[in-house]
Amino acid sequence: MEKTHFGFKEVAENDKARHVAGVFSSVAGKYDLMNDLMSLGLHRLWKAFTIEVSGVRAGDRVLDVAGGTADLSLAFARRVGERGEVWLTDINNAMLTRGRDRLLDHGFRMPAAQCDGEKLPFPSGHFDCVTCAFGLRNMTHKEQALAEMARVLKPGGRLLVLEFSKVWEPLTPAYDFYSFKVLPWLGKRVANDAESYQYLAESIRMHPDQETLKAMMERAGLEKVEYYNLTAGVVALHRGHKF
């Protein structure tokens, strides 16, 4: 049986999604609070930057893959207006439900679909913009997921992948201390779940670095792929175009 990584552990490939589902079902209730605490609010800036470089305008069609509690979907909903379309999607029902409820609380009735980023239930060439924020790291077949995101883009459309990446080398010792000591401690205190935050730290280390992800996006058929390092490479935003 094929093996893959789940953080630093090896698991059967067909079992990774179940492990990931366990993490997000467990953290869903405290997800937004933990994001603010762990990043000291920086995730809001990273997402605001993503919206800025998306080029999304009124009337556009946007797909938010692994959209979770809907931070990006909410910002896009405000941009696209009445004529536009924003789909919030996620594989996990607990996360998706929180996201959908949040959109409704803000007065947006938008479609939400529970689906796997590796098998998107949308026609080819449908969206002006596809985003995947902090989701790709958790997927089993990342190349397949990128190919799917590229497939559903219209010619002229953009794929934006916001993800943890390789931090600037001199910061590594401090970043490792923060990730492997502070994060699980915070997870235990706030969400009563140290393990999920240990997985977060480990999965970041296993994720492809900036250049590797750029090459993967190019192999998925995207062009003019570029990336922006944010907060010294703690996070990178990759953008590719479909022509």
Q: Which residues bind ligand SAM (CB under 6 A)?
A: 20, 24, 65-69, 71, 90-92, 95, 116-118, 133-135, 138-139
User: Which residue's CB is nearer to ligand SAM, number 41 or number 156?
Assistant: 41
User: Which residue's CB is nearer to ligand SAM, number 64 or number 128?
Assistant: 64
| Closest-approach residue to ligand SAM (CB) | 68
Name the helix (H) or strand (E) containing 78: helix 71-80
Least distance from C-beta 122 to ligand SAM, angstroms?
A: 13
Listed in sequence order, the residues at least 6 apart from 8 whose beta carbon sits closer than 8 Å to its beta carbon are 202, 205, 206
User: Which residue's CB is nearer to ligand SAM, number 137 or number 241?
Assistant: 137
Query: Residue 91 burial by CB count (10 A; 0-12/13-18/19+): exposed, middle or buried?
Result: buried
User: Which residue's CB is nearer to ligand SAM, number 63 or number 156?
Assistant: 63
Least distance from C-beta 212 to ligand SAM, angstroms?
A: 19
β-pairing, 3-6 vs 235-241, is: unpaired
β-pairing, 61-65 vs 127-133, is: parallel
Least distance from C-beta 91 to ligand SAM, angstroms?
A: 4
Residues 84, 89, 94, 99: what is their CA dihedral angle, to the nearest 10 degrees?
-20
Least distance from C-beta 211 to ligand SAM, angstroms?
A: 23
125: left (phi over 0), alpha (psi -120 to 50) or beta: left
User: Which residue's CB is nearer to ligand SAM, number 39 or number 59?
Assistant: 39
